[in-house]
Amino acid sequence: MGITWMELLYILRDSFLGGPGLFIAAVNLLYMAGLWRILEKSDLRGWWALIPCAKVYQLSRCAGREPEGRVASLANFGCLVLNALSYLVIDNSTGFYICLVLILTLRLIAFLYELQIYGGLIEVYGVRRRWMWLWASAYTSWIPALLWGWKKEYQPAWKVEDMRREMEAMASTGTAAVMDTGLTVNLRERSVKEFFQKRILLWDIHMYIPQGHMVLLLGGSGAGKTTFVNAVNGYEKANAEVILNGSNMYTQYKRMQYETGFVPQQELMRNKDTVYYTLADAAKLRLPKDVPAEVRKKRVEEVMDIFGLTPVKSSLVQKLSGGQKKRLSIAMELISNPSLFILDEPDSGLDGVMARELMQQLRSVADTGKIVIVITHTPDRVIEYFDDVIVLAKDSARTGRLAFYGSIQEARSFFGCERMEEIIKQVNREEEGGAGRADEFIAKYVEVQHA
Amino acid sequence: MPEKNRNRLLRGLRVRYRGRQSQIWIYLGKMLRMFLYQNDWKVLPMAAMVAGLVGLVIRRRFCYHMEGTMMSALAIACVCLWNGCFNSIQVICRERDVIKREHRSGMHISSYIASHMIYQALLCILQTGIILYVFELVGVKYPKTGLFSRFFVVDFFISLFLITYAADMMSLWISSLCHTTTAAMTVMPVILIIQLVFSGGMMSLPEQVQPVTEAVISNYGLKVIAAQADYNSQPLASAWNTVERMKNNEIKGSVTIGQILDYLSDPDNPEAGEIRGLTVSEGGVLTQKLTVGDLVDLINADPASGELRDQTIKIDTTVGNVINVLGEQDVRHYVEEQAKATAQEKDYEHSRANVGSCWFSLVLFVLLFAALSTVTLEFIDYDKR
């Protein structure tokens, strides 16, 4: 089994020009010429249009459909590899037909994802959906590619590379002091790699939260609230230093995971287990091994009493009301008496009375010397229970930044708003119905910190 | 205090939490409760129903003849695969978010998988027991003694249990790979089809895909059942059925007696040797039982046979008549023995070594898939929210 120079040429021809024949080559060249300009219009490098597989991904970035682009380019890559492989195996052999079937399957997958990318592109260019017919066919896609690429009247609604590091100049540069008690967060950067590209989710967040404080975490959708709490409790590690009562959350994670309690947004429990066994198993997992069974049982009953779950202790979790499920979810974390307690929207789906009751219970937990951080979208009905507020906002580069950290009173004067929901509105982007003043407040807070 | 010193100090004072071993029992308890509350017990009556249907089909075939045994072995292996797959295909993906939460609170993935292994093993034992009991009820007959124990049913139980358990662990792995129950249920039919096609029992596969057959559970399941049922020593019914269907076919032609005698006298011709061994029925001119060989030797020894040798015999008869002349039982025995020899497979050899190696392979599958499930789930923290 070997490959001749001729076969190598065929493979390169299929990869770069789409297949045999002058017509196909011409169509592909025209498509690439159009694509080059489309990429440039979105502030991407035009030569990507010449690279097989990668060009689909780059086009998906223009269309705001990166996940689809990843799948399509991987499927296209698979097709290229299999196509090359089909030259290596004997014609009409089983291997040859396996290659053909796989190529057909991958090509179908790529085609379906490419349709979604073209759909996104149509939205970005604000043109009619009927353009899809031209994009969908390999023989006609060069027409919209050339027109949209080279004619000035076709312009994308937004560009991929936005005004990036203008905000980087506004770094706080400072770090929060590390104390023996309380929580110190010095988060330099939290980023993810998506298809060889780095995306910064959070940047430059520094704070110190004293023990016994109940902190409200505010921010619009996508501001990075959950990412922030996941970085703080060590679930998703960031380029950061998080110190809780003198211990590093990252380097001593195995021990510290028992010192933190995180209540997720959804009630993640087994619906077909009873309330008592759910808590009893949580106690077995989270309490130290040498805690006697009697003490453990007592702790379970104590937590059930605190959260009013004793009357339903034999019920299946699925039979509980929304509020009871929330309380059970919180009780599961509280059972090990953690020093840091983080709750992601614990009051969602609860009415005002129940939400206040819940916050009251959390306040009493904070009063025992714990740090309680709560994310909520309806802060004003329970604001009196909180000591401090953290405001996260997306800057113009769509990175989550710290717009404020301080007491509730300071926050009111900093933002010039009485209500917390108004603060969210101030920092939210205009397209989200906000005032779009995030950059302004981020810069202002950096100045305050420098001062 | 520098962090290094603090860590050293804390190591001495370290609080110990539950280790892997004791977590196994916590989760096993949880699973047993799920068995009752989440209706996981449904797999038991389902196993009885499937076994009943298959049992009715195979009861007059299994261990009767090669084709019946092969078909039954495939059907039984499929029942085991089906049961195993359905036991665990959803168990991890349906509570993936819960596992993620618990993993972050100190749960060890290896303990979780180990508890699943114990729980699923119990389920598989129950299902295998049910299958064998149902087979007994519907009248499936087995050989009396097994290769390893005095009772065939004990050996057979081990085989069916291992096939079910290996399939169960494979599905557990799929369940740990898939993020939703919908995805898992979409993948499962594909896996079952692969198992069916590459089992080797449905059709002969090209040489290139042989390595694939070595990597599927059904192949070992089929081998071990066929080997235990002693496939190789059973008659090949289809060969005789074909001859029977040809009974009315006409045979026309002519041959001299000399040609026949020379053919039957050739010592180098094994086929002729076998025909010489056939007994010619008494009656007519024959007053005693003779073999064809005796008859040929008698004629050859007779000096008057020279004229006889030149005589032409015009043949105008049917296959049925020839069979009657030769004796139906003898012909049938001859045909079945000849055909059996060509249909015998080394893979289905009725030996301890063969069955033992299949059991060993199935155990390896169990361990491999359990390890894969553990490794896969260790990455659960990287799940997207």
Looking at the structure, tell me whether residues B337 and B370 fall in a common domain: no
Task: Give me the long-range contacts of B360-366 (CB less than 8 A, separation at least 24).
Answer: B361/B220, B362/B162, B362/B163, B362/B165, B362/B166, B362/B217, B362/B220, B362/B221, B362/B224, B363/B162, B363/B166, B365/B166, B365/B169, B365/B170, B365/B217, B365/B220, B366/B117, B366/B162, B366/B165, B366/B166, B366/B169
pLDDT band for position A9 (cuts 50, 70, 90): confident
Task: Please indicate whether residue A11 or residue B229 has the higher confidence score (pLDDT).
Answer: B229
Kindly state whether residue B12 falls inside one of the protein's structural domains. Answer: no
Q: What is the mean pLDDT of chain A?
A: 89
Instruction: Looking at the complex, report in whole angstroms how far the Cα of residue A268 sits from the nearest Cα belonging to chain B.
Output: 5
The stretch B228-235 carries a mean pLDDT of 91
pLDDT of residue A163: 45
Looking at the structure, tell me whether residues B358 and B220 fall in a common domain: yes
The stretch B182-210 carries a mean pLDDT of 88
As a whole number of Å, the end-to-end CA separation of chain A is 72
Collect all residues of chain B within an 8 Å Cβ-Cβ radius of residue A315. Answer: none
**B17 interface with A at CB cutoff 8 Å:** yes
Task: Please indicate whether residue A77 or residue A164 has the higher confidence score (pLDDT).
Answer: A77
B12 pLDDT higher than 70: no
Kindly state whether residue B263 falls inside one of the protein's structural domains. Answer: yes
Tens digit of each residue's pLDDT (9 = 90 or more) over A182-218: 999 999 999 888 777 788 899 999 999 999 999 999 9
Dihedral (CA of B70, B74, B75, B80) sign = positive
Integer angstrom CA distances of residue A37 from A31, A50, A144:
10, 12, 12
Query: Considering only A173-177, A221-225, B25-29, B306-310, which range has the smallest mean pLDDT?
Result: A173-177
Q: Minimal CA–CA distance to A188: which of A172, A199, A167?
A: A172
Give percent of chain A above pLDDT 70: 96
A173 pLDDT higher than 70: no
Q: Minimal CA–CA distance to A385: which of A421, A352, A361, A353?
A: A361
Q: What is the mean pLDDT of chain B?
A: 89
pLDDT of residue B229: 94
pLDDT of residue B75: 95
B9 pLDDT higher than 60: no
CA distance B164 to B130: 12
**Maximum distance among all Cα pairs of chain A, rounded to whole angstroms:** 83
Instruction: Give the residue numbers spanning the domain of B313.
Output: 238-341
Collect all residues of chain B within an 8 Å Cβ-Cβ radius of residue A247. Answer: 6, 10
Residue with tokens 């982007």: A429
pLDDT band for position A277 (cuts 50, 70, 90): very high
pLDDT of residue B285: 67
**B190 interface with A at CB cutoff 8 Å:** no
Residue with tokens 């592909």: A28
Rounded to 10 degrees, the C-alpha dihedral A12/A14/A19/A23 comes to -40
Kindly state whether residue B74 falls inside one of the protein's structural domains. Answer: yes
A161 pLDDT higher than 70: no
Kindly state whether residue B15 falls inside one of the protein's structural domains. Answer: no
Kindly state whether residue B6 falls inside one of the protein's structural domains. Answer: no
Contact A268 B105 (CB under 8 A): no
Residue with tokens 């790699």: A193
pLDDT of residue B385: 64
Tens digit of each residue's pLDDT (9 = 90 or more) over A229-254: 999 998 888 999 999 999 999 999 88
Dig out the tokens for B145 from the structure: 């003694």
Q: Minimal CA–CA distance to A363: which of A374, A354, A353, A350?
A: A374
Compare CB distances from B33 to A95, A262, A273 and report the shortest one's residue. Answer: A273
Collect all residues of chain A within an 8 Å Cβ-Cβ radius of residue B12. Answer: none
Kindly state whether residue B13 falls inside one of the protein's structural domains. Answer: no
CA distance A233 to A212: 17
B1 pLDDT higher than 50: no
Kindly state whether residue B108 falls inside one of the protein's structural domains. Answer: yes
Looking at the structure, tell me whether residues B371 and B317 fall in a common domain: no
Compare CB distances from A277 to B23, B33, B381 and report the shortest one's residue. Answer: B33
pLDDT of residue B4: 57
Domain A167-259+338-450 has CATH 3.40.50.300: yes
Tens digit of each residue's pLDDT (9 = 90 or more) over B108-163: 999 999 999 999 999 999 999 999 999 999 999 988 899 999 999 999 999 999 99
The stretch A72-87 carries a mean pLDDT of 91
The stretch A124-131 carries a mean pLDDT of 92
pLDDT of residue A117: 95
The structure's pTM equals: 0.78
The stretch B4-8 carries a mean pLDDT of 55
Rounded to 10 degrees, the C-alpha dihedral A324/A330/A335/A336 comes to 170
Collect all residues of chain B within an 8 Å Cβ-Cβ radius of residue A248. Answer: 3
**Maximum distance among all Cα pairs of chain B, rounded to whole angstroms:** 124
Tens digit of each residue's pLDDT (9 = 90 or more) over A23-34: 999 999 999 999
pLDDT band for position A165 (cuts 50, 70, 90): low
The two beta strands, A340-344 and A371-375, are parallel
For A196, list phi and psi in degrees, rounded to 5. Answer: 70, 15
Give percent of chain A above pLDDT 90: 61
Q: Minimal CA–CA distance to B380: which of B145, B175, B143, B189?
A: B175
* Three-state SS sequence of chain B: CCHHHHHHHHHHHCCCCCCHHHHHHHHHHHHHHHHHHCCHHHHHHHHHHHHHHHHHHHCCCCCCCHHHHHHHHHHHHHHHHHHHHHHHCCCCHHHHHHHHHHHHCCCCHHHHHHHHHHHHHHHHHHHHHHHHHHHHHHCCCCCCCCCCCCCHHHHHHHHHHHHHHHHHHHHHHHHHHCCCHHHHHHHHHHHHHHHHHCCCCCCCCCHHHHHHHCCCHHHHHHHHHHHHCCHHHCCCHHHHHHHHHCCCCEEEEEEEHHHHHHHHHCCCCHHHHHHHHCEECCECCECCCEEHHHHHHHHHHCCCHHHHHHCEEEEEEEHHHHHHHHCHHHHHHHHHHHHHHHHCCHHHCCCHHHHHHHHHHHHHHHHHHHHHHHHHHHCHHHCCC
Looking at the structure, tell me whether residues B301 and B244 fall in a common domain: yes
CB A220 within 8 A of CB A429: yes
In chain B, the number of structural domains is 2
Partners of A202 in the β-ladder: A190, A400
For testing the chain B interface, which of A244, A272, A335, A340 should be mutated: the one with the most B CBs within 10 Å?
Answer: A272
Tens digit of each residue's pLDDT (9 = 90 or more) over B332-384: 888 888 888 888 889 899 999 999 999 999 999 999 999 999 999 999 988 87
The stretch B178-198 carries a mean pLDDT of 93
The stretch B48-62 carries a mean pLDDT of 94
Q: Show Cβ contacts of residue B341 under 8 Å, excluding neighbours closer than 6 positions.
A: none
Query: Considering only A18-22, A290-294, B134-138, B303-307, which range has the smallest mean pLDDT?
Result: B303-307
Integer angstrom CA distances of residue B375 from A197, B24, B27, B112, B363:
27, 17, 18, 12, 18
pLDDT of residue B337: 82
pLDDT band for position A114 (cuts 50, 70, 90): very high
Looking at the structure, tell me whether residues B26 and B168 fall in a common domain: yes
pLDDT of residue B80: 96
The stretch A350-354 carries a mean pLDDT of 84
CA A449-A450-B2 angle, 5° bins: 75
The stretch A423-438 carries a mean pLDDT of 88
Please, what's the b/e burial string for B250-275 (b: 16 or more CB within 10 A of its CB; e: otherwise)? eeeeeeebeeebeebeeeeeeebeeb
The stretch A98-125 carries a mean pLDDT of 93
Give percent of chain B above pLDDT 70: 95
pLDDT of residue B91: 94
Contact A262 B104 (CB under 8 A): yes
Kindly state whether residue B284 falls inside one of the protein's structural domains. Answer: yes
> Within a 10 A sphere around the Cβ of B124, how many other Cβ atoms?
28
Collect all residues of chain A within an 8 Å Cβ-Cβ radius of residue B3. Answer: 248, 251
B238 pLDDT higher than 50: yes
Q: Minimal CA–CA distance to A339: which of A247, A405, A252?
A: A247
Q: Show Cβ contacts of residue A146 under 8 Å, excluding neighbours closer than 6 positions.
A: A30, A31, A33, A34
Partners of A208 in the β-ladder: A184
Give me the residue spans of the domains in chain A.
5-150, 167-259+338-450
B72 pLDDT higher than 50: yes
Contact A273 B97 (CB under 8 A): no
Give the ipTM: 0.75
Looking at the structure, tell me whether residues B269 and B373 fall in a common domain: no
